[in-house]
Amino acid sequence: MVRKVLFQVHLWTGLVLGLVLVLIGLSGSLLVYDHEILALGDKPLPRAEAVGESLPLDTLIKTARDAVGGKTDSVTLVLPKEKGEAAAVFMRKLGAAHKREGERKAYTYVYLDPVSGQVLDVRPSSLNPVFAFVHDFHGNFLMGHEGRQVIGWFGVVMLLLGLSGIVLWWPKRGAWKFAFGVRKRAKGYLLHRDLHGAAGIWLWLVFVIVSFSGVVIAFPDTAKAFTSTTAQTFDPRRGPVVEALEGVKPMGADAAVALLRSQLPDAAVATVALPAKKNDSIRITLGTMESGPVSVAYVDPYQKRIVGWRNPPSAPVAERFTAWQRVLHAGEGWGPVWRALVCASGLLPLLFFVTGTVMWLKKRKGRNAA
């Protein structure tokens, strides 16, 4: 009796919400490789050839600002991860161009040789309209910030479909040999049933992890209530609000990184973002999502101290577990195989919807004929 009820809930949830779940899944698969897809239409990034010690970070930032000219804000320095890679400074240019082009098109990337300081390339940056739409749909259901929770509830539906699916798939005694593949002579209803079950079981764990991580991302406050030991009350893009002190010269990028490394000598600094406003903090990102969750340190440039963290390296296990969800959802952290599996899991809703619909139609047709 319970299995029959579960089957009906699973069936009708998939039929009614299937198309929306298909679009969410397909958009997620596309975003797993968005950088690689966009790079196909761009010229290769410049390479740095000078050998020796890197220039001070503030020097690189000043050189990049001079190359752009005019007033800029939202300045972020991306440090090279390996030899031969250029340092990159991206910033938003203020003035007439900013008002005319809007925030999404007003950013400029300046690539520099970190040793010689030579400007290798200057490129305007604009968000591809297709991927901007896909990002907005997958993250907010085209409804702005309020749509994040709508997507979250669809993630809950996917998670429940995955959990109920493993119960409904579970083979009866003697049928295990047919549970993991498609039978050679299968056709019609049986073919779609085998496809539905085989694809689901082979990618079941990935599908559940991606669905669960999406729910955590969509409901961050709820996740923090269960895992975080410290309340975060600031905007992570700006950091804790600081007080601009009269007569005190704010710290630069080099001094901020030196302060951080005085506490964490082995800190792998990835980016340094200078304040866009006087009351913003300096943001220093440690690590990249390719290897796991990133940590962000927020530095008060006036009082010259660290005033906040996002996912600190010493965070409790529960907090780090939550931080891993964004990494895993994006297909990062566990190498190229995991990335490919996450992309494939986004295709599952399409397969489930097609095979599930065909099975329902064929069963209905059979009942009507009877």
Please give the Cα distance from 341 to 336 (Å, whole number): 9
Partner residues linked to 107 by β-bridges = 92, 125
Distance separating the N- and C-terminal Cα atoms of the chain: 24
Q: How far apart are CA 299 and CA 283, in angstroms?
A: 7
- Single-letter code of the amino acid located at 328: L
Q: What are phi and psi of 97, to 5 degrees?
A: -65, -40
The pLDDT assigned to 277 comes to 87
Predicted pLDDT at 229: 58
pLDDT at res. 348? 97
Q: Residue 106 has what pLDDT?
A: 66
Please state, in angstroms and rounded to a whole number, the distance separating the CA atoms of residues 261 and 23: 45
pLDDT averaged per 10 residues in sequence order, the chain, 370 residues: 90 95 97 90 88 95 89 88 93 60 65 96 83 93 91 96 94 84 89 94 97 94 70 76 90 96 93 91 93 93 94 86 93 95 97 96 78
Looking at the DSSP assignment, which residues form a beta bridge with residue 77? Answer: 89, 272
pLDDT of residue 185: 86
pLDDT (0 to 100) of residue 231: 55
In angstroms, the CA 352 to CA 309 distance is 41
What does the alpha-carbon distance between residue 173 and residue 119 come to, in Å, rounded to a whole number?
69
Strand, helix or coil at 11? helix
Bridge partners (DSSP) listed for residue 122 = 110
What per-residue confidence (pLDDT) applies to 228? Answer: 63
What DSSP string runs through 75-110?
EEEE--SSTTBPEEEEEEE-SHHHHHH-GGG-EEEE
